[in-house]
Homo-oligomer: A and B are copies of this chain.
Amino acid sequence: MKFLKKAVLPLGFKASGLHCGIKRSAKPDLALFFSLFPAKAACLFTSNKIQAAPLKVCRAHLKKSHFFKAIIANSGNANCFTGNAGVMDAKAMARFTAEVLNLNEQEVLVASTGIIGKRMDISKIKKAMLKLAGGLSSCGIDKAKKAIMTTDIFSKEFTASFKVGSSKVTISGVAKGAGMICPNMATMLAFLFTDANISQTAMSSALKSATEDSFNSITVDGCMSTNDTVFLLANSAAKNKLISGGRELQLFSKGLKVVCLELAKMMVRDGEGATKFIRIEVSKARTKEQARKAALSIANSNLFKTAVYGENPNFGRILAAIGSSGVDIDEKRIKVNLGPLQGKDINVKVNLNLGKESSVVYTSDLTPEYIKINAEYN
């Protein structure tokens, strides 16, 4: 299996991106992803009970259609808590895309990210559609990946490729962070594309499992977004023998996991104001769920995160966080290993010495820059 720290669109995919005016700055804010061939889709959405309009439209389209050809995404406005008007706006985004690409509206998926609670000026998107569609190309991903960014400093992209029989299969993804990052889902959008020929069931279960250990294992600020979505499109252009189980599915799942994990880690490295990348491993817990819960409790502790920022080895804050997580512990058995806090990469290992299960969670430190960014963002 080969990996590349870049997005390389698989066979049959094209992308495009530009500035249409939703962002007040001149930065790109509108992205289009397109598959020449009808693609199966698997999508995962935030578990926040407030769900943005595009998520509602995606759910509706996923119910009605089995194949998809495009995803339209904007940054600068989340189109969330915008009522029925917002849903109409998200539908309009799908309709504009369908019109310009000569598709059925239900073959289009929609994503938005940005400020919550404000109507979008949909006319700006309408005006930009022709130019956006005209820009579709294999290398257009470099513009698309920037058009989905909000407070992100760098773009997140990763590619895995491997052989299924004699066919080369590629999985490639782009994603955005960088604040309101917390599991189920993290606050993020991820767009994953593969030319694999894979069954709907297989791709859905592979995505669920890959997301659990990647996008759902990171936290920047413990705040769960209203817009998080992971999209996976598979258009069969690689013409491999259908993947539906066995070794081939294991291979596909492995590739997908690596892509998701690398994208997730990039989100943490680019966490708002982050100066440190923190890996927290809780081992020998009674259950996997408890290991994860304890790790997340540490990862979301402001006191722990500021201590890491200050390179202040205050391991008592780790203990307080574990104790408050509600998981089974025996104070006398806990071992905490907090490596040196100098440098960018920090490792925390907690051994609960109670069972056999472990979990890894990634987070960033809490810094004055995080506060500056979020005190001013509007």
Contacts and interface: CB of A to CB of B under 8 A. Distances in A.
A127 to B, nearest CB: 26
Interface in A290-317: 300-303, 306-307, 309-310, 312-317
A341 B81 CA distance: 21
A337 interface: no
Contacts of A319: 50, 80-81, 116-117, 226
A253 B337 CA distance: 46
B116 A310 contact: no
A326 interface: yes
Given A80-B316, A371-B368, A50 B223 contact: no
Nearest to A222: B302
B374 A223 contact: no
A375 B312 contact: yes
Nearest to A80: B316
A123 interface: no
A200 to B, nearest CB: 29
Interface size class of A (residues with CB under 8 A): 35 or more
B378 A314 contact: yes
Given A312-B375, A331-B81, A226 B320 contact: yes
Contacts of A78: 316
Contacts of A371: 306, 309-310, 366-368, 371
Q: Determine the main DSSP class of A at the interface with B.
A: loop
A211 B315 CA distance: 29
Interface in A216-231: 221-226
Contacts of A225: 320
A24 to B, nearest CB: 15
A78 B320 CA distance: 11
A324 interface: yes
A9 interface: no
Copies in the complex: 2
A180 interface: yes
Contact of A50 (B329, B375, B377): B329
B324 A223 contact: yes
A302 B223 contact: yes
A115 interface: yes
Contacts of A303: 179-180, 221, 223, 374
Contacts of A50: 319-320, 322-323, 329, 331
Contacts of A313: 378
Contacts of A320: 48, 50, 116, 180, 223-226
Contacts of A378: 312-314
A31 B224 CA distance: 43
Interface in A353-367: 366-367
A105 to B, nearest CB: 24
A307 to B, nearest CB: 6
A306 B48 contact: no
A150 to B, nearest CB: 13
B316 A115 contact: yes
Contacts of A179: 303
Contacts of A323: 48-51, 224, 226
Given A116-B320, A368-B372, 20 more contacts: A48-B323, A49-B323, A49-B326, A50-B322, A78-B316, A80-B316, A80-B319, A83-B332, A115-B316, A117-B315, A222-B301, A223-B321, A223-B324, A224-B320, A302-B302, A302-B366, A306-B375, A307-B377, A312-B376, A371-B371
Top-10 shortest CB links A-B? A116-B316, A310-B375, A50-B323, A224-B324, A306-B374, A368-B368, A48-B323, A117-B316, A49-B323, A221-B302
